[in-house]
Amino acid sequence: MPTTGVNVTLVRNATVLATVGKTTFLVDPLFAPQGSLPPIDDTPNDRRNPLVPMPDVDLSHDAVIVTHRHPDHFDEAAREKLDSEVPLFCQPAEAEAFVDEGFTDVRPVEDAVSFEGVTLHRTPGRHGHGELAEQMGPVSGFVLVGDDILYLAGDTVWYDSVAETLDRFEPDAVVLNGGAARFNQGEPITMGIEGVSAVREATDAAVAVVHMEAINHCLLSREELRSETEDTLVPADGEQIGL
């Protein structure tokens, strides 16, 4: 699998440091200590979140991207720790909430914006299936275009818009949110084995899967995903991978 100028460090859950060229984005910061948050309700596993501690990772970054404001993607601990003046990219519908929390450089992305030599394109996502996806609210992915192209799919299942994004941008690297997160009823709301395999078949890009083994409703293990898919990177917490 060829390497590109993209580097990704998985911090924990969906929190990653994504470097394209010389610019590093902190994505979906979840900074809460292990066990300090309640379990997500109506799920098969009632353990307190996060399930695992924060690894010892240098969190230096140039900007922040929040794909959506669910508490496992942006939490109170992150709000308190982040520099209030950091450039923060988000969905337009959620910009006001960040301003209300004191962030002074909030940059909602309607379609595309540029920053430090990287163009950020906001892309569609579907957080589940049918009526449940509607209840989960809007979610986004982001494609980061520099000399190389990274697609951060966000909390989405495999569906037409993900395929269209892959076709449109032809990314060099893709980061998927896996874990097959689910409630007691209904289908998973993030990618499982079938979704990851569909992405793997649809692109020649390097594919990495995060959002695993950190939140109580993510039931698909890294070991199971590795055993059931090919040519897929499944990093451990704190691991840096070149894509």
pLDDT of 74 strictly over 70: yes
Q: Which residue has the higher pLDDT, 119 or 4?
A: 119
Segments forming the whole domain that contains residue 162: 6-242
What CATH number corresponds to the domain at position 31? 3.60.15.10
Could you tell me the pLDDT band of residue 100, with boundaries at 50, 70 and 90?
very high
Nearest to 216 by CA among 70, 3, 89, 38: 38
Q: Is residue 232 domain-resident?
A: yes
Q: Is residue 126 domain-resident?
A: yes
Q: Is residue 130 domain-resident?
A: yes
Query: Residues 190-210: pLDDT tens digits?
Result: 999 999 999 999 999 999 999
Could you tell me the pLDDT band of residue 242, with boundaries at 50, 70 and 90?
confident
Q: Is residue 1 domain-resident?
A: no
The tally of domains found in the chain comes to 1
The arithmetic mean of pLDDT across residues 125-142, rounded, is 90
Contacts of 211 (CB under 8 A, 6+ apart): 13, 14, 155, 176, 177, 178, 179, 181, 190, 218
pLDDT at 5: 81
Query: Residues 3-35: pLDDT tens digits?
Result: 568 999 999 999 999 999 999 999 999 999 999
